[in-house]
Amino acid sequence: MAAKVMTHVLAADFEHMQNDNPNGSPMIRGYNIIDGKLEVASDGATFHSLNPALLSDTLGEFPLSTKADVHSALKAARSAFPSWAGTPAPTRGQIIGNMGRLLMDRKDALVRLETREIGKTLKESAGEIQEAIDTCLFFQSEGRRLYGQTVNSELPDKELFTYRRPLGVCGIINSCNFPSAVPFWKMIPAIMCGNTCVWKSPQDSPLLSFALARIMHEAGLPDGVINLVHGKGSGAGQYLVDAVDEGLVNKISFTGSTAVGKMIGEICGRNLVSCSLELGGKNPLVVMPSANLENAVEGAYWAGFGTAGQRCTSLGNLIVHEKIYDDFMGLFMEKVRKTKIGDSMRDGDVLYGPMLSSKYADEFLQSLEICEASGADLIFGEGRITKDSAPDGFVADAEEGVYMWPHVYTGVTEDMECFHEEIFGPAVTIVKARDFDHALHLANASPYGLSSAIYTNDRLEAYRFKTGIKAGMTGINNSTTGAEAHLPFGGVKGSGNGTRESGIWVIESYSYWHAVNDELSGKLQLAQMDVDEIHIEEAEVNYEALA
């Protein structure tokens, strides 16, 4: 079955997607989008997207893509590449700008859809859709600044130039915790540089991905430039990565776990194919005695429990100087005990909602076992919220969705496994530091290096921290979370391979430099060999007379 993508995203679809009473609302039939056509899986297999705050609410049914489906998408992307690469960059930028304006028009509906599909609060979903908008508007203008250089030659009558050229077909794989911002971080600069894409949507946010892909086509994107396939990471995602070995992919951009990222890096490495890997984190936040404690508590609390701790930049190790430990912990735990948790679609002003899906909930509970086995002291948290075990601030129905207590572990030391392992969910491990040098050591001691933060009003401490930390990002008197469309995002060590998302820096990940030597003299001139030698002659100066 195949049908042309409708250039108009049906208003009725968005009404269904943002229904205030989602239980019982119509289920959307979703499709792959391959070469501008709506496609089902070649074997007819499907899966469903569920609302994690209301598990009885099925948002939609989607193709469980086969290897043949992924290869069909890759073929479409490769076929579309020459024409798209030949499209003037300002024209590509204009289409990207159209995407940003359509996202603005549909923002409210998309926000409610995202919240319904993955359980984020409405405020967080709004911030993320805005990030996608900002990315489009930033790269619209970059279409007029895809600069190369004119370089002076060492020989006469010769011109040298450099140009940015697109890589080819890019495989895009992102996780569902940022289902709108991150794919736009990847695909917008990719297509701005002239590449084409096959986007494997996150298994737990296929409806939002489907809506976003249709908006991209409505903006004027030619068929085959962005192709969307749905399915599991172990299915469609793996097929896309395996296609690197088959010579069908020129670039992989992946956001997800470090273990999977290493596997992708190995496959790309043996094929000399570029990959961008944005991976996990155990992000440290240091609190020093000079800090404003109320501000530090606010930052640590949000970093640890915003998005139910399901950010790659969420707070991992909270490192508190021993002189202020008791005062800080008193204020911090007061906020934790009052945490308001619920369904943002129905319960106002909640800090966080359900886990992204039942799968993420199960993995989080398994991670908590690491803390227990390490010997850390659990001072707050009781695992999954149930009708018989719920914190005071829980305002939803525990039997309807997948909700977790906030968890706080103290007595954590550098030799414990939980100090080093990422816990993807609402849990913070707390470590005491003797002094600044010890705190900096602890901040660098995990195998990750994504985000970091320090709260201090001592400018020398702030300077020493930002120059001594091994991380891709650092907040000073700010939390570990937060990104802007014009600032580079990414990590070092186990958090990535040095590539960056966002800003002008990401262009390096989706283009290569092409050097052109234009000989105008009408004869062969050889660099280094035909250059006139410059002789050094001693100046005839009477230095004694000058003295």
Query: Looking at the annotation, which residues are catalytic?
Result: 312
**How is residue 310 written in tokens?**
């399901």
Using CA atoms, how far residue 350 sits from 81, 121, 262, 305, 466, in Å, is 45, 7, 36, 11, 33
Cβ pair 258, 279 in contact under 8 A = yes
Cβ pair 517, 158 in contact under 8 A = yes
Using CA atoms, how far residue 288 sits from 316, 319, 330, 455, 477, in Å, is 17, 9, 16, 6, 10
**What value, to the nearest 5°, has the Cα angle with vertex 264 and ends 262 and 268?**
115
d(CA 363, CA 375): 20
**What value, to the nearest 5°, has the Cα angle with vertex 48 and ends 45 and 52?**
160
The DSSP annotation for 387-436 comes to: TTB--TTB-S-TTTS--B--EEEES--TTSHHHHS---SSEEEEEEESSH
Cβ pair 328, 362 in contact under 8 A = no
d(CA 251, CA 171): 6
Count of helices and strands (H, E) across the chain: 16, 23
The 10 Å CB-count burial string (b at 16+, else e) for 256-290 is bbbebbeebbebbeebebbbbbbbbbbbbbbbbbe
Q: Is the dihedral of CA 433, 434, 435, 441 positive or negative?
A: negative
- The number of beta carbons lying within 10 Å of the beta carbon of residue 325 is 16
- Cα 7 from chain centroid (whole Å): 28
In a 13 Å sphere around the CA of 53, the CA atoms on its Cβ side amount to 29
Secondary structure (H, E, C), 332-381: HHHHHHCCCECCCCCCCCCCECCCCCHHHHHHHHHHHHHHHHHCCEEEEC
d(CA 455, CA 299): 9
d(CA 104, CA 110): 10
Using CA atoms, how far residue 271 sits from 33, 67, 241, 510, in Å, is 28, 20, 11, 17
- For residue 536, the 8-state DSSP code is P
**How is residue 401 written in tokens?**
């969705």
